[in-house]
């Protein structure tokens, strides 16, 4: 059992269920070794298998968390750049220009993803202008097969004071080859 715990951890510890099996095998081996003092060996193998399986699962969790944080940061950076480009470029709606003044910065306040095969990312934002702040929502699609996802702005709508604005973005091709 102790040898099985070590082998399962070493070979299949990357899978959380297999790692759990290695921990259980190690615990069973330790229990059997404890019940027959001096006659059974393998305590080190059992403990090693349990430790290895636990370390692999912890490392996987940390790596997945780091990957998720980087992916979300990349998506936020793309969203901020696209929003700034839209509100400072030639597509600026009159209420935004008149009421907010030049936009100095954009802050993401909330992100929501809907859909699995063709996700839509909705981003709530504040655009800090020289005279006022614009609040709004930008909607993005993604380019399939990109990691982190490459965002494509579809629309931008919001309010500056009591005036609404909307920018509908059209791209020549949403699925580049």
| Cα 111 from Cα 63, distance rounded (Å) | 22
Q: Identify the pLDDT of residue 171.
A: 57
Per the DSSP assignment, residues forming a β-bridge with 120 are 114
- Residue 111 makes CB contacts below 8 A (sequence gap 6+) with 72, 75, 76, 79, 121, 122, 123, 124
Which pLDDT tens digit goes with each residue over 72-111? 999 999 999 988 888 776 566 666 777 888 888 899 999 9
The pairs formed by 76-79 with CB atoms below 8 angstroms and a separation of 24 or more are 76/108, 76/111, 76/123, 78/140, 78/150, 78/151, 79/108, 79/111, 79/121, 79/123, 79/125, 79/138, 79/140, 79/151
Which pLDDT tens digit goes with each residue over 145-168? 888 889 999 998 988 888 888 887
What residues does each domain of the chain span? 2-65, 74-168
Can you give the C-alpha Rg of the chain in angstroms?
27
Tell me the two tokens of residue 170.
Answer: 């059209």
pTM of the model: 0.71
Which pLDDT tens digit goes with each residue over 40-62? 899 999 999 999 999 999 999 99
CATH number of 74-168: 3.10.450
């Amino acid at each position: 059992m102790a040898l099985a715990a070590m082998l399962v951890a070493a070979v299949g510890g990357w899978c959380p269920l297999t790692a759990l099996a290695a921990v259980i095998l190690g615990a069973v081996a330790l229990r059997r070794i404890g019940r027959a003092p001096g006659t059974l060996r393998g305590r080190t193998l059992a403990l090693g298998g349990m430790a290895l399986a636990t370390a692999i699962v912890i490392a996987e969790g940390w790596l997945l968390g780091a990957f998720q944080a980087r992916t979300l940061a990349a998506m936020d950076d793309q969203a901020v750049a696209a929003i700034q480009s839209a509100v400072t470029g030639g597509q600026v709606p009159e209420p935004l220009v008149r009421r907010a003044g030049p936009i100095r910065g954009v802050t993401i306040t909330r992100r929501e993803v809907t859909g699995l095969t063709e996700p839509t990312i909705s981003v709530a934002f504040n655009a800090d202008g020289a005279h006022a702040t614009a609040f709004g929502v930008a909607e993005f699609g993604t380019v399939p097969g990109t990691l982190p996802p490459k965002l494509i702005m579809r629309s931008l709508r919001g309010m500056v004071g009591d005036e609404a604005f909307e920018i509908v973005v059209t791209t020549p091709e949403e699925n580049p080859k």
